[in-house]
Structure 1
């Protein structure tokens, strides 16, 4: 098992899938990271050298990921709500925030925009 950024990964796991498992790393960021450290897209973790693993872990530690990113998003939504902006009110009501249709298609927004209210 290889320890990267606080998570143990199996030796046979794909590097691509392992990186995508972190909250805040999407396909494009993963692709850029792998290109930066000269890692093939089908490489497995056991194929990486210790130097590549250490460099990748160092790069991940400089990025805003996981709980820090979640906290930052919640703080941004809280700031919008405290300001009383239109977007903040929409978040508070659980309605679509970015101008989507509300007459018939708001069920997804109601599920995703749930922010705990203070009553």
Structure 2
């Protein structure tokens, strides 16, 4: 099993779908990474060499993608800022209500549980 950026990549998956399991890398970024490095989308993770894994890591560093724990920290700071300035979104988040204008009369059960 290959560990890449704090994420286990299943060896049976293609590199395209395996990269998209990393937090912060979606299908578009995964496709661009494969294209820049010249990998086939159908290339399996178990067929990657150590040099290719290092190339993937270097490309992610060079392209300044925020992934895994760094991205999670930024999102937490954004939410804390909204709460500190007492914006509408921050107050709704504190109360556990829907933030983006959804109705609360009949729905929003899942928002209240959080």
TM-score, normalised to structure 2, is 0.78
Closer, same or farther: CA 10–87 of 1 in aligned 2, 3 Å: closer
Gaps of 5+ in 2: none
Closer, same or farther: CA 85–27 of 1 in aligned 2, 3 Å: same
Distance 2:41 2:98 in 1: 37
The correspondence of residues 29-44 of structure 1 with structure 2, limited to 5 A, is: 29-44=29-44
Provide the aligned C-alpha RMSD in A.
2.3
Distance 1:29 1:88 in 2: 30
TM-score, normalised to structure 1, is 0.75
The number of residue pairs the alignment matches comes to 112
Q: Are 2:69 and 1:67 aligned?
A: yes
Gaps of 5+ in 1: 115-119
SS in 2 for 1:84: coil
Query: Which shows bigger deviation, 21-30 or 68-77?
Result: 21-30
